[in-house]
A and B are shown apart, each in its own frame.
Chain A
């Protein structure tokens, strides 16, 4: 069975921090694209959605080129005596890039559903754009944002291809649960593979239940304190 639980810890560490990154970048990006007339909006939207369409190995390949010793970011890091490739941080970045579009897309459509009059009302009441974002837009789009958080966490937890490319499979250091399953199955250790599969299955089930509960909770919230229209 499982003797070393490090893949679980590494998985949780990388996917939780990756989710945090997608929230911090994805939610504001979604708000900006949804509510302002940004230049090259279509192009920006395509770039932000791209990782969802690309095969993870291709996304991973680009990351490798960028973060590798000869890549633009890699060189910069080397000058500061740092290297990301084949560390858990690389796994985190890979997971964040691949999960990002889920956060961005869900948050964007949630922002777009807000009655524009309500946002304009806030501005006319003297609110700065920051206040409009934090006190009106985010709370009103909250159900959508929360769904995006769960989705991108699930995606980050299951990340395989891109992680493999930039973080490799170093047990105890970068080996996440999906990688552990792959290498256990490949080496014929089906018992261990099953154990990890069951664990991931359990986590996914719990998350799905959480999401359903959340949806119901939101529905109740909406019907009791709800929104107009």
Chain B
């Protein structure tokens, strides 16, 4: 196992209890603010000491409370890209990048830095100071500085939160490419499912210090195992479920009874339905049970340039509604047609999660 994190630490309000493992893939650590995700990164980096546990980076134990191993940050081979980049304000871009180069003979530092400056498209900026370059360039400098030190793992702490939207998309792509070149383990901490999904292979959902799901990203998206995982993976429609029988769930909040991909009776829980998984059902009179075709009225909508978010209600005077994302073409059809409309919610897209003892 190249990477192993198995740590516990008492924090104000909750207990951090994280278990992660992996090889050279990118792991996305998803969680709301205060879930303990940044603390986890700090523990791996050695800035914060866990109460107990074990951390292995690139096959090397850097922390083991039982064996009394606790390497200093500089000995861990961990590269950390800080949320605010933490560049040295008094050093030029070149000096920032050169700072961490140590493994080669001194005479080659300049050449190594020059190569990174070239590769990271920072050529005209080498003699400037961090405050004289843009946010995206600062991020590139920070990443070049991390890579210059040749770490065994790269940790990224909310790296895109300080960037404008248009820059963010561009930097996500660029960063993914850089991490692929890097070729070793990496962990991305974020609260944004889109960033995590775009950058990572595996996703871990962290809530109140505990890992709620840790799997291949598509599996986490399709089958979130807990309510927290459902929420943090961006599921728009979540409601409590009252009773389940014969593979059906009853959702009082929406006044619906749907077939879901659940086996047997599972007790209390929630269902989640992603807004983009709901489909317009155009064949009429096809209302047989088990196909999850339901009548719906349009309660409201909001438009974006390419898609429309429609709010559905399931009785004419109902108030609770379901978010539904449709493309422009479908929307035109729906808007001009008669109400109620029929929508289909595929049974395998109705995600059921069991209530955990500490869910509130």
* Residue in A closest to B73 when the chains form the complex, CB atoms: A123
Kindly state whether residue B21 has any CB partner on chain A within 8 Å. Answer: no
Kindly state whether residue B255 has any CB partner on chain A within 8 Å. Answer: no
* Chain B hits for A124, CB < 8 A: 45-47, 73-74, 76, 78-80, 149
Contact between A225 and B132 (Cβ–Cβ < 8 Å)? Answer: yes
Contact between B90 and A121 (Cβ–Cβ < 8 Å)? Answer: no
Q: 8 Å CB contacts to A: which residues of B72-131?
A: 72-74, 76, 78-80, 82, 84-90, 99-100, 102, 129-131
* Chain A hits for B191, CB < 8 A: none
Contact between B129 and A125 (Cβ–Cβ < 8 Å)? Answer: no
A118 to chain B, nearest CB (A): 5
Contact between B79 and A228 (Cβ–Cβ < 8 Å)? Answer: no
Q: 8 Å CB contacts to B: which residues of A133-170?
A: 135-136, 139-140, 142
* Chain A hits for B47, CB < 8 A: 120, 123-124
Kindly state whether residue A229 has any CB partner on chain B within 8 Å. Answer: yes
Kindly state whether residue A3 has any CB partner on chain B within 8 Å. Answer: no
Q: 8 Å CB contacts to A: which residues of B122-144?
A: 129-132
Contact between B89 and A117 (Cβ–Cβ < 8 Å)? Answer: no
- In the complex, A227→B138 CA distance in Å? 13
- In the complex, A225→B95 CA distance in Å? 14
* Chain A hits for B148, CB < 8 A: 125
B196 to chain A, nearest CB (A): 22
- In the complex, A123→B86 CA distance in Å? 12
Contact between B84 and A115 (Cβ–Cβ < 8 Å)? Answer: yes
A132 to chain B, nearest CB (A): 9
- In the complex, A120→B86 CA distance in Å? 9
Contact between A226 and B99 (Cβ–Cβ < 8 Å)? Answer: no
Contact between B45 and A120 (Cβ–Cβ < 8 Å)? Answer: yes
* Chain A hits for B89, CB < 8 A: 118, 140, 225-228
* Chain B hits for A126, CB < 8 A: 74, 100, 102, 149
With A123-B74, A126-B102, A127-B99 as known contacts, state yes or no: A118 contacts B129, CB within 8 Å.
no
Please report whether the interface of chain A is mostly helix, strand, loop or mixed according to DSSP. Answer: helix
* Chain B hits for A115, CB < 8 A: 84, 86
* Chain B hits for A122, CB < 8 A: 88, 99
Q: What is the interface size of chain B, counting residues whose CB is below 8 A from a CB of the partner?
A: 29
- In the complex, A146→B149 CA distance in Å? 32
Contact between A127 and B74 (Cβ–Cβ < 8 Å)? Answer: yes
Q: 8 Å CB contacts to B: which residues of A98-120?
A: 115, 117-118, 120
- In the complex, A221→B80 CA distance in Å? 28
Kindly state whether residue B145 has any CB partner on chain A within 8 Å. Answer: yes
- In the complex, A226→B88 CA distance in Å? 10
For A194-229 the 0/1 string (1 means CB < 8 A from B) is 000000000000000000000000000000111111
Contact of B86 among A118, A128, A142 (CB under 8 A): A118
* Residue in A closest to B100 when the chains form the complex, CB atoms: A125
Contact between A121 and B129 (Cβ–Cβ < 8 Å)? Answer: no
- In the complex, A121→B97 CA distance in Å? 12
Contact between A140 and B74 (Cβ–Cβ < 8 Å)? Answer: no
Contact of B84 among A117, A135, A225 (CB under 8 A): A117
Contact between A125 and B45 (Cβ–Cβ < 8 Å)? Answer: no
Contact of B131 among A135, A136, A140, A225 (CB under 8 A): A225
- In the complex, A228→B84 CA distance in Å? 9
Contact between B90 and A140 (Cβ–Cβ < 8 Å)? Answer: yes
- In the complex, A226→B130 CA distance in Å? 8
* Residue in B closest to A223 when the chains form the complex, CB atoms: B131
* Chain A hits for B86, CB < 8 A: 115, 117-118, 120-121
A35 to chain B, nearest CB (A): 13
B105 to chain A, nearest CB (A): 15
* Residue in B closest to A142 when the chains form the complex, CB atoms: B90
With A120-B47, A120-B73, A226-B131 as known contacts, state yes or no: A125 contacts B99, CB within 8 Å.
yes
- In the complex, A115→B90 CA distance in Å? 13
- In the complex, A226→B99 CA distance in Å? 19
A220 to chain B, nearest CB (A): 13
Contact between A121 and B131 (Cβ–Cβ < 8 Å)? Answer: no
Contact between A117 and B145 (Cβ–Cβ < 8 Å)? Answer: no
Contact between A228 and B80 (Cβ–Cβ < 8 Å)? Answer: no
Q: 8 Å CB contacts to B: which residues of A22-80?
A: none
- In the complex, A115→B45 CA distance in Å? 17
With A122-B99, A228-B131 as known contacts, state yes or no: A128 contacts B74, CB within 8 Å.
yes
30 contacts between A and B (CB under 8 A): A115-B84, A120-B73, A120-B82, A121-B82, A122-B88, A122-B99, A123-B47, A123-B72, A123-B73, A124-B45, A124-B46, A124-B73, A124-B76, A126-B74, A127-B99, A128-B74, A135-B99, A136-B88, A140-B88, A142-B90, A224-B131, A225-B90, A225-B129, A226-B89, A226-B129, A227-B90, A228-B84, A228-B85, A228-B87, A228-B131
Q: Taking A120-B45, A123-B72, A226-B129 as given, write out 13 further A-B residue pairs in contact, using a Cβ cutoff of 8 Å, ordered by the A residue number.
A: A117-B82, A117-B84, A118-B87, A120-B80, A121-B82, A122-B88, A124-B46, A124-B73, A124-B74, A124-B76, A124-B149, A125-B100, A228-B87
Report the 3 A-B pairs with minimum CB-CB distance, sorted nearest first.
Answer: A125-B100, A225-B129, A117-B86
Q: Which residues of B contact A (CB under 8 A)?
A: 45-47, 72-74, 76, 78-80, 82, 84-90, 99-100, 102, 129-132, 145-146, 148-149
